[in-house]
Amino acid sequence: MTSPTGPALRLTVYIGENDTWHHKPLYSEIVHRAHAAGLAGASVFRGIEGFGTASRIHTSRLLSLSEDLPVAVVVVDVEERIRAFLPQLDELVGEGLVTLEECEVVRSVGHTPDPDGTDPEGKKSL
């Protein structure tokens, strides 16, 4: 993000866990493209139950036939950067729901990896 706090947009992409892009999970492709586009960050949330426009319920409960659980990819950044990223989603998301919501960033604090590329806990940073 260009500023650490202030007005922003929250982009949420609702898709299925089994949705793919060139034999790769679609949610992973969205996250990698958001990263390549320089967006502030992206997170993927796996739902335990839900339904979409087809009205078919997907659930993680035992004895259920569905394993295609709902997934939400959430990205927050300034409006200009989010809107510039939308054409990539048009290419990627054939079925699903894409929403934009105004929000306000009140705190955005990260950590800086050490010069050797590791974070303070010793994990390799991307």
d(CA 58, CA 68): 6
pLDDT: which is higher, 72 or 109 = 72
CA nearest to 76, candidates 106, 46, 52, 111: 106
DSSP SS3 for 86: helix
User: What is the percent of the chain where pLDDT is above 90?
Assistant: 60
Model pLDDT for residues 104-118, shown as the tens digit of each residue: 999 888 766 666 655
Model pLDDT for residues 17-67, shown as the tens digit of each residue: 999 999 999 999 999 999 999 999 999 999 887 777 766 666 666 555 557
CA nearest to 13, candidates 57, 76, 105: 76
